[in-house]
Structure 1
Amino acid sequence: MTEEATLSYHWSRDEFVRAWDADVFERRVELVEGEVWPVVIGSWHGETVMTVAAVLPRRGVRISSSTLPTGDSLPDPDCWVRRRDAEPTESIGSRLAVWDPRDLLLVIEVSDETVMQDLGVKAKLYGRAGYPAYWVVTKDVIYEHTEPTASGYRLRAEYRAGDRIPIRYADTDLAVDDLLHPA
């Protein structure tokens, strides 16, 4: 198969899971709308994911970093929040749980090299799934997406240093500085 043919191949969710189970991929990847995307990580990314996860309110919720089956895609958001009493609606293989979108409260991507993908394709993917809130955390801005629609999100707000970002599922807010520039 030529490189061009490999890049244009459309993976089904089941094909991707079989390849994943067989350790075909040499690095961490995710399936987004039929395409296999590498998961980009680094020092800033890892530290920011841990900071965000540590400061999110935990009462009545569970915070995860596992793959989040969304339609026919298997994205790997950096962090997501679900109701503590939520039960999976189904499973994919032996390792992945599928959740009712009404039980998902917040999905977060920490974004350095993938800002355009996270603000574009992934915002459409998560909005179409019906997840009520989606953040893209960059080094300077947190983009909050709300009011999901069939084509993405109706609203997108930007929060910068000095601002406070609402944590809608907990009816509170956090200082953006505590997320982007912790002491």
Structure 2
Amino acid sequence: MTKPVLAYRWSQSEFLRASEAGAFDHRVELVEGEIWPVVIGSWHGDTVGQLLATLPRDGVRVTTATLPTGESLPDPDCWVRRVDAGPIGMVGSRLSVWAAVDVLLVVEVADETMIQDLNVKTRLYGQAGYPVYWVVTQRAVYEHTGPISTGYRTRVEYLPGERIPVPYAGIELAVDDLIAPPAT
């Protein structure tokens, strides 16, 4: 007979205490009470660097900081907020909480994490009310808009050779400028 396994759900404060005590031997994030490893390979790192160099910066701050979202502490690969925005709260002594209206774009670069980024994190960021969420893969950029309680109303796939709108800047960027070539 198999006994049921009880899954333990971490709170933000438990996760922060464990992290500050050095309990994790690699980079992790807290997503809906679960601890997820943060996997960063060569292509992933190159693409994040390309995004950071390409995203428009007038009147905004582009950051790689943890973005407290609901009861989760995800680490988006980058995100954009209004430069004049101030935090609306704190998680612990080091993590600022931001109003959804001040978070203009959230980006996850998905290599090994594509299924989680297109499903769980889409729901997480949509529930938070972040207006635009991109998942950048080796073959496309998936733009999510119209946040709702189950994720986003709309998902559009942009392929190399196409241009993707950047609503906070009123411009479009070439998808080719956002996706790094595969690492060799």
SS in 1 for 2:168: helix
Contact between 2:82 and 2:102, CA under 8 Å: does it hold in 1? yes
Q: Could you tell me which amino acid in structure 2 is paired with residue 37 of structure 1?
A: W
Q: How much does 1:113 deviate? A: 0.3
Contact between 2:50 and 2:180, CA under 8 Å: does it hold in 1? no
Q: Distance in 1 between matches of 2:60 and 2:166?
A: 12
Deviations 1:29-59 (A, max 9, x none): 0000000000010110001001011110100
SS in 1 for 2:44: helix
What are the equivalent positions in structure 2 for 1:131-142 lying under 5 Å apart? Answer: 131-142=130-141
TM (norm. structure 2) is 0.94
- Which gives a bigger RCO, structure 1 or 2 (Cα 8 Å, sep 6+)? 2
- Which of the two has greater helix per residue? 1
What are the equivalent positions in structure 2 for 1:1-183 lying under 5 Å apart? Answer: 8-181=7-180
Q: Could you tell me which amino acid in structure 2 is paired with residue 50 of structure 1?
A: G
Gaps of 5+ in 2: none
SS in 2 for 1:26: coil
Q: Could you tell me which amino acid in structure 1 is paired with residue 132 of structure 2?
A: A
Q: Could you tell me which amino acid in structure 2 is paired with residue 168 of structure 1?
A: P
Q: Distance in 2 between matches of 1:6 and 1:15?
A: 21
Q: How much does 1:8 deviate? A: 2.2
Gaps of 5+ in 1: none
SS in 2 for 1:9: coil
Q: Could you tell me which amino acid in structure 2 is paired with residue 38 of structure 1?
A: P
Q: Could you tell me which amino acid in structure 2 is paired with residue 10 of structure 1?
A: R
> Percent same amino acid among aligned pairs?
63
TM (norm. structure 1) is 0.94
Closer, same or farther: CA 6–84 of 1 in aligned 2, 3 Å: farther
Give the aligned length: 179
C-alpha RMSD of the superposition: 1.6
Structure 1 window deviating more from structure 2 (55-64 vs 7-16): it is 7-16
Q: How much does 1:6 deviate? A: 9.2
Deviations 1:147-174 (A, max 9, x none): 0001100000000011000001101000
- Where in structure 1 do 4 or more consecutive aligned residues deviate above 2 Å? 4-8
Structure 1 window deviating more from structure 2 (93-102 vs 122-131): it is 93-102
Closer, same or farther: CA 175–7 of 1 in aligned 2, 3 Å: farther
